[in-house]
């Protein structure tokens, strides 16, 4: 009989994209840990959230405000509130009754922290323990592996969709050039650069220069 944890691994590996992980897998992670709330965050998608949610997430994931976030950033390892602070201190940091117990783990790609998996429990519920941390560590490992594989495939597909001229523009964007500067270097008008970037955004399904560069930034293409 397949264990619930193994089924979670399979769900992660079957996910089509990040939104699938967030909408389909995150709730199952919450069920596995008997959590009140659960979520998967990707830092490159925070800009796509509404402004109020973006503000809340940036505060919750702030290393200055949240000792769990600081632990994850420094060690790339899962943590719960009991591992980093006393219950009294945590109640001052996060007084919300539905976040009385919090556990989170890192999503890592190429040595960089790119996201997090998090779960919370209410005050009346039991706190997260060492076995929960071990299981979350395994889940984060599988999500990180999925990200690495998916990112590599997307880079290859993305590069194939761009023309040689568009790849030149992308390279200059990655170097921090403005549209006007790109136009001068490539002997085209600034408006031509703007129109090319619009086409490139549509092809790559991105909404910003930073997101485009992040998707293409690899020595294989630059």
Local confidence band at 161 (pLDDT 50, 70, 90 cut-offs):
confident
Write out the two tokens for 141.
């490992």
Shared-domain flag, residues 166 and 137: no
CA 191 vs CA 26, 139, 178, 196, 218: distances in Å: 42, 46, 12, 8, 27
Q: Residue 159 pLDDT > 60, yes or no?
A: no
**Per the domain annotation, does 23 fall within a domain?**
yes
Half-sphere exposure of 106 (CA within 13 A, CB side): 19
Q: Which domain holds residue 66?
A: 4-154
pLDDT at position 57: 63
d(CA 118, CA 115) in angstroms, rounded, equals 10
Higher pLDDT, 153 or 200: 200
* Segment among 76-80, 115-119, 160-164 with least mean pLDDT: 160-164
d(CA 220, CA 51) in angstroms, rounded, equals 35
Shared-domain flag, residues 183 and 148: no
Q: pLDDT per residue over 13-39, tens digit each?
A: 999 888 899 999 999 999 999 999 999
**Which residues touch 1 (CB under 8 Å, ≥6 apart)?**
none
Radius of gyration of the chain (CA): 20
Q: pLDDT per residue over 187-201, tens digit each?
A: 899 999 999 999 999
d(CA 175, CA 167) in angstroms, rounded, equals 12
Half-sphere exposure of 153 (CA within 13 A, CB side): 8
pLDDT at position 194: 94
**Per the domain annotation, does 222 fall within a domain?**
no
**Per the domain annotation, does 221 fall within a domain?**
no
**Per the domain annotation, does 206 fall within a domain?**
yes
Shared-domain flag, residues 15 and 43: yes
Choose one of 138, 154, 170: the last residue of a domain: 154
Please give the tally of structural domains in the chain: 2
Local confidence band at 127 (pLDDT 50, 70, 90 cut-offs):
very high
Q: Residue 133 pLDDT > 70, yes or no?
A: yes
Choose one of 154, 172, 196: the last residue of a domain: 154
Beta strand pairing call for 79-80 and 37-42: unpaired
Shared-domain flag, residues 105 and 32: yes
CATH number at residue 212: 1.10.10.10
Contact by Cβ (8 Å): 179, 167:
no
Dihedral class, residue 91 (left if φ above 0, else alpha if ψ from -120 to 50, else beta):
alpha
Q: What SS3 state is found at 111?
A: coil
**Per the domain annotation, does 120 fall within a domain?**
yes
Local confidence band at 185 (pLDDT 50, 70, 90 cut-offs):
confident
Q: Residue 136 pLDDT > 50, yes or no?
A: yes
Q: Residue 157 pLDDT > 90, yes or no?
A: no
Higher pLDDT, 180 or 44: 180
Shared-domain flag, residues 139 and 29: yes
Q: Residue 219 pLDDT > 50, yes or no?
A: no
Contact by Cβ (8 Å): 212, 169:
no
Nearest to 84 by CA among 99, 98, 101: 101
**Per the domain annotation, does 33 fall within a domain?**
yes
d(CA 196, CA 92) in angstroms, rounded, equals 50
**Per the domain annotation, does 124 fall within a domain?**
yes
Shared-domain flag, residues 121 and 212: no
Shared-domain flag, residues 71 and 33: yes
Shared-domain flag, residues 52 and 105: yes
pLDDT at position 37: 94
Q: pLDDT per residue over 40-74, tens digit each?
A: 988 877 655 556 656 666 666 677 788 999 999 89
Shared-domain flag, residues 91 and 13: yes
Shared-domain flag, residues 120 and 11: yes
């Amino acid at each position: 009989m397949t264990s619930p944890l193994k089924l979670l691994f399979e769900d992660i590996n079957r996910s089509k994209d990040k939104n699938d992980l967030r909408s389909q897998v995150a709730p199952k992670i919450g069920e596995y840990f008997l959590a009140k709330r659960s979520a998967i965050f990707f830092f490159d998608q925070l800009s796509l959230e509404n402004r109020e949610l973006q503000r809340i997430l940036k505060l919750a994931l702030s290393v200055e405000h949240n000792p769990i976030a600081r632990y994850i950033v420094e060690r790339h390892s899962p943590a719960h509130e009991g591992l980093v602070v006393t219950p009294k201190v945590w109640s001052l940091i996060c007084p919300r009754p539905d976040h009385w117990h919090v556990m989170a783990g890192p999503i890592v790609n190429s040595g960089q922290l790119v996201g997090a998996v998090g779960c919370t429990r209410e005050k009346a519920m039991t706190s997260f323990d060492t076995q929960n941390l071990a299981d979350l560590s395994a889940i984060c490992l599988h999500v990180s592996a999925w990200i690495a594989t998916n990112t590599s495939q997307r880079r290859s597909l993305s590069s194939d969709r761009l023309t040689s001229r568009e790849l030149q523009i992308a390279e200059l964007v990655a170097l921090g050039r403005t549209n006007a500067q790109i136009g001068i270097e490539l002997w085209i008008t600034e408006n031509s650069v703007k129109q090319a970037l619009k086409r490139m955004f549509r092809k790559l399904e991105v909404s910003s220069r930073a997101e485009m560069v992040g998707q293409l930034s690899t020595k294989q293409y630059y």
